[in-house]
Structure 1
Amino acid sequence: MKLDNKELYNLLKEKGIENFFHANTLTTSLSFLENKGLISRGLVETKGLSQTPQSSDEIDKKFDVWNDIFLDVVDLHGHFPRQNLYGPILFKFNIEFLKEDSLEIWVTKNNPIYWDENETMENKYFQSVCELKEKWDEYDIQRKMFTVRNATDPILFDYLEKIIVDDPCVSIEDGAIVLSKVLKDELSMLINKELISKNYFEWRKCSDCYCKENYLNLTISDLKRLFLRN
């Protein structure tokens, strides 16, 4: 259900929420940066761009969210003491675009990977900003996924504030590939092409977080999926 953008903006302000966040892999993030905006997985596929396959892809198509862009209202890397599961590159946007009504925003009651095919739209999505406000505390923050429905163009980079990059402190292939160096080199190429300013980038500094330990425990194939072009 499409929510009223201005009412949603006011609710988020009331909650002290100033930003939206989107985390992704290096491969998918490079497609965003090269095209100057977030792009739905469906549009990436249509344009023939590169993106990292996700286990949820078939579910997203089944439940008609393949052409949607997903946003969180917290940095889940900071909210939980662990890395963002979708990838090491985090885009941080301000919420000011909600003052306009050009984008169609829906808010889920749970991640679509947990939806049942017999579930009603009322169980999948909040039906109004009023309902979202009344039931805000009944749903975990990560379950309330803010989606831009049927995005037909790259979006939101006019509202981009920062790009926060993880340093996993991990090397692979007997030390031949240092993952943080790969990230730095790939992103530097885009900066040198003047596709994005270096001023947007910030390396994440963690304390009291399990991200480094978790990265060390990932398989080589998972690390390559997250940190290398694929």
Structure 2
Amino acid sequence: MFRQRANLRHSLIALVTCLCVTVLYSPLMGRVLAQTTPVAPTAVAAAPWLGATSHTLTVGEQMDANLAAATAPLLAQGMAGGPVVTYVTMLNSQSIVPTAPMTQARGVVGAALAGNRLVVRASFRELTSALRDYATDPLDPPNPNITSGFHIHQGGPSENGPFQYALTVTMNPNGLGGSAMGDYTLTPDQLQALQNGRLYVDLHTTRNRGGELRGILMPA
């Protein structure tokens, strides 16, 4: 009798274990867990062209989304008949010259080039402070073309090169993250700089006026 009870108990344990494994690894449970799992700490800020659920994207997914958003205008206007070259960069504080600031900020940039037209899409989060306002805190001498704190410069990784273009920025409600976009016609000199890894993107804040994030555009 004791052996029969033991066998019955072992059979019940095996049955329950089998049911648990089946439920946990079923497609339905996978979707439930995906909906309830906290966002990974590497997720970056949502960009307005990505929709309401984009805050759950990882860095890689956000990079892909920015690249797709940068390529879309070229496809829509039939400019992709020729080759489209894509570029990316991950913005970080360690690339700031001469001294890296203390910040938890991060961001990603995707760009698409067709001929001499460069379309840029970017997203960023967790800035230390608001973006630098060049209307109230201008360069000396002021540059009217610097219309935001998010820029493209020409220069190598160890130098602060001249300003080229300003991106149009949309901030999140908290004022410490958001998205940026730009559409530019590159000069032959700028096009050569891009191909040589000498166009970089940087972001300036009120706390880090000389730059909080930076990254060089490189082929994707």
Q: TM-score, normalised by structure 2?
A: 0.24
Which structure has more RCO (C-alpha within 8 Å, separation ≥ 6)? 1
Structure having the higher helix fraction is 1
More strand per residue: 1 or 2?
Answer: 2
